[in-house]
Amino acid sequence: MFLENTINATQKKGWIEVISGSMFSGKTEELIRRMKRAQFAKQNVEIFKPQVDTRYDEEMVVSHDDNQIHSTPVPSSSNILILANNVDVVGIDEAQFFDDGLVAVCNQLANSGVRVIVAGLDMDFKGIPFGPMPGVMACAEYVTKVHAICMKCGELANHSHRMTEQKELVLLGELDEYEPLCRACFNQSKNNSID
């Protein structure tokens, strides 16, 4: 019994944290803040982002406020497991752009004692749960939903409204293509575009 308790006490405990919300809500800013705190605590950290996200920089994770931290761009979630060696904390930005294997990757990392911090859009521009985010959120111990401010009425925004006519699911963009909207303004904008 004593040996069993000693072994359990020395094993690292991992978990999954998710930061989700609409565009311009501060998801990446919060991810960077948590990762920098882990670095300050002298923990080994590694940050990953999807290779397709080149809006601000090829390698850096950059917030809209121009806060940044070095990352490793990867083509698929399985690459994260290959590259996350001897780490205490793994950060994953723009998680909605990864494949559905991200859920298993996050669970495997957490089960091996790694703190996993995932940031991503919870819904796409149509208001539908986006990519692997629902699965990651379901498996997470901690979920933080952050909000932007609605560009139409000033209330809390939780939708990313696309202002262009392009219909493809993945369209990297900024304020020229997207605006944060609350539920009521988002539904009104959707209804207006149907008319």
Residues annotated as catalytic are 94
| Distance in angstroms (rounded) separating the CA atoms of residues 59 and 119 | 16
Both tokens assigned to 154: 């000033």
CA-based angle 44:47:52, to the nearest 5? 165
| Distance in angstroms (rounded) separating the CA atoms of residues 102 and 87 | 18
Per-position DSSP letters for 137-177, written without gaps between them: HHH-SEEEEE-EE-TTTSSEE-EEEE-SS---S-----TTT
Q: How many CB atoms lie within 10 A of CB 50?
A: 23
